[in-house]
Structure 1
Amino acid sequence: MNTIPKEWLEFLREQFPEGSQIKIKETAEPHPPFALGEQGKLEQIDNNGCFHVRMSGGILLTLVLGEDRFSVSPPAPTMMKLYMPLTADLYTRNEYGEMEEDSTLLDGRSLRAYEGEILRALINSRMPEESESGIMHWYGKDDNVNQKVKSAVFTVEDRNGQLWGVAECRVVGTLTPEELTTLKEYISGQASDGWGEGFEQRDICAGDDELYVHLWQWDNWSIQTEQERFAPKVAEGLPEQCFSTLATTGQLICIKRGESGYSPSEWDTGDRERNVELVDELNEKLGVTPSQRQAMEIGSLAGWDAPGADPKAYEPDVLQLGGM
């Protein structure tokens, strides 16, 4: 098979992200194990430009441009949330019904009591131009972030005992680390100097009092994904990723710390025994121990706060104590 140019490969992966719907029209195989017109989900485009598609019956199909005929529909957007600390100035009235000059600074814990009022104010502050794409309407760049992030709006969420400011982003495909950083920087700017600057100057009626909410502040402020903000601490002791195989098919897979499930690996050979050997080789290069691999497997399936997601659970001393 001819080597595909790197630029063309990057273009294919940008245009057809993981999760795209593939409709099979015609294949080079004379008797395919599925009906023409059936749809599958794109799992990856390999380094040769072949489309690896998972059909509804579980069959993994490899499609080749120029040999197979198929259409591609982009995946439905998924919701990604970016969390940020929330504060507000509360102005109360004195016994004479006059508003006090000094305010009380409220943090996220105190603001839980005002969730409804703040959410209503956020929604009412959205401009007509933002009806489809939210604050992405003002992004102004023709890049991958603009193509992938279909909308972003500010809202609030009560979680872990406090009220958080949240940017709800509808994303098609997967953002690269660089694209995620760009998106965070843009939303941070909107929270501080753009949209959020106007919002914090609007009074929110809280009974007889007035509330001025800050999506951004100087001290102890950060913007993080749900995984970054709330991932269990046990996951911090694990590697960023490791390799494993599926017990049912022997397929070589990649597991990423803090993420549910797994993704197919481009290193998959199609041979169960060779995949088992390759997993050991790849994990050794990454410095992943057998205990860490076991913990990663459990974490991806049972949740990263499960006891089995801690590699210490597989250390000899712990196993001996557990059996006593």
Structure 2
Amino acid sequence: MKIAKEWLDFLREQYPAGSRIQLREIGSDPAPIPPGSMGTLDYIDDVGQFQISWDKGRSLALVIGADRFTVLPPEPALLKLYMPLTADFYPRDEWGDSSEEGERWDDRTLTEYEDQILGALVKNRMPEERERGLMHWYGEQDSLNAKVRSAEFTVEVRNRRLWGVAECRVIGELSSKELADLKDYISGQASDGWGEGFEQREIEVDGGELYVHLWQRDNWSIQTEQERFATKLAEGLPELCFSTLQTTGQLICIRRGESGYYPSEWETGDKERNVEEADRLNEKLGVTPAQRLAMEIGSMAGWDVPGADPKNYEIQRKEQMGGMTLD
């Protein structure tokens, strides 16, 4: 049986994977599932059948018209969109008067004022936004409006910086276009809508008043948690390498992308022999000295620092070789 693509698209949009299914009555089936059984929708196939994993361990499809069931929407998932923060601080003089010229504070300084800024964000929310937050003002009746149940501005400390965050509760998965549209909408609210009013609200802090900007013209972007904070590994790093601890001489192995190290099963109990063993094992794996140095730095200082890129050591080596002369 062929199903129109438009109908399939409508079903899949209305009933996303992860929706909970409650059976009321099943049609003709030699081993029926009892009424009232609960399951989870895996997907809707190309002939319109609801492919379901039932809580009691069975997998059995349901068909609209032949079977009677209720589709309960899945619980919204939390999607966080991160944006950099800045603020202007206006100090008060000894008479309590605010300065006419403000000081620009960056997101590292603002970490000390997380509670005050969060409190101001909450106070700035309007009664109309109680259920859907910023999505109350979204004017389109489209799939994004259907999937994003709410969105609210908050703040969060990550990597010793205070970030502005749009916490979005989403049903189902956003397509790449829907995510781009959501970012555009939140960006507009941060710059010209909700955020424009918020940055004019004074926040009382010790010694003066603070005005926080969710948006600024320079060096501003809005990104998902994965886009913003995922570890970016340099190219050319091996899966693992061997090294020795400078303090004890212990033979260790380092895994790409992981902090710290693991004791090696090839440990000899002798410092000098461990150094030789590390060289032998790395040579066997094809690990170059530059890669080993980069892996050592990455495991200690983080995989996004310049020292975790083997290319930097190769460049240094070429420069040193270029300065050598042969007699």
Q: Same fold (TM over 0.5)?
A: yes
Deviations 1:114-160 (A, max 9, x none): 00110010000111111111111111111111111111111111111
Letter paired with 2:28: A
Structure-2 change in CA distance of 1:197 and 1:10 (3 Å): same
Distance 1:217 1:319 in 2: 50
Aligned residue in 2 for 1:215: 214
Deviations 1:76-107 (A, max 9, x none): 21211111101100111234543222221111
Give how far 1:52 is off. 1.3
Aligned residue in 1 for 2:128: 129
Distance 2:20 2:208 in 1: 52
Aligned residue in 2 for 1:98: 97
Gaps of 5+ in 1: 238-290, 292-303, 308-316
Letter paired with 2:169: R
Aligned residue in 1 for 2:67: 68
SS of the aligned residue for 1:114 comes to helix
Structure-2 change in CA distance of 1:127 and 1:228 (3 Å): same
Distance 1:115 1:177 in 2: 32
SS of the aligned residue for 2:7 comes to helix
Deviations 1:208-258 (A, max 9, x none): 310000000011111111111112224x97xxxxxxxxxxxxxxxxxxxxx
Are positions 1:26 and 2:36 aligned together? no
Structure-2 change in CA distance of 1:47 and 1:320 (3 Å): farther
Aligned residue in 2 for 1:230: 229
Distance 2:172 2:161 in 1: 30
Aligned residue in 1 for 2:271: none
Deviations 1:242-299 (A, max 9, x none): xxxxxxxxxxxxxxxxxxxxxxxxxxxxxxxxxxxxxxxxxxxxxxxxx9xxxxxxxx
SS of the aligned residue for 1:89 comes to strand
Q: Greater shift after overlay, 49-58 or 162-171?
A: 49-58
Aligned residue in 2 for 1:188: 187
Distance 1:72 1:211 in 2: 48
Structure-2 change in CA distance of 1:14 and 1:212 (3 Å): same
Aligned residue in 2 for 1:255: none
Distance 1:28 1:68 in 2: 9
Aligned residue in 1 for 2:35: 36
Letter paired with 2:30: P
User: What's the RMSD between the two structures over aligned residues?
Assistant: 2.4
Are positions 1:77 and 2:91 aligned together? no
Q: Greater shift after overlay, 56-65 or 104-113?
A: 56-65
Distance 2:169 2:49 in 1: 28
The structure having more radius of gyration, on CA atoms, is 2
Distance 1:98 1:53 in 2: 66
Aligned residue in 1 for 2:118: 119
Structure-2 change in CA distance of 1:59 and 1:305 (3 Å): farther
SS of the aligned residue for 1:180 comes to helix
Distance 2:44 2:282 in 1: 42
SS of the aligned residue for 1:183 comes to helix
Structure-2 change in CA distance of 1:229 and 1:58 (3 Å): farther
Aligned residue in 2 for 1:140: 139
TM-score (norm 1): 0.71
Distance 1:321 1:94 in 2: 66
Aligned residue in 2 for 1:89: 88
Letter paired with 1:156: V
Distance 2:199 2:283 in 1: 55
SS of the aligned residue for 1:60 comes to coil
Distance 1:149 1:6 in 2: 24
SS of the aligned residue for 2:61 comes to strand
Distance 2:282 2:29 in 1: 53
SS of the aligned residue for 1:22 comes to strand
Are positions 1:203 and 2:213 aligned together? no
Distance 2:18 2:91 in 1: 51
Aligned residue in 2 for 1:243: none
Distance 1:182 1:192 in 2: 15
Distance 1:174 1:124 in 2: 31
Aligned residue in 1 for 2:308: none
Distance 1:107 1:28 in 2: 66
SS of the aligned residue for 1:98 comes to coil
Distance 1:96 1:37 in 2: 71
SS of the aligned residue for 1:61 comes to coil
Aligned residue in 2 for 1:8: 7
Letter paired with 1:12: L
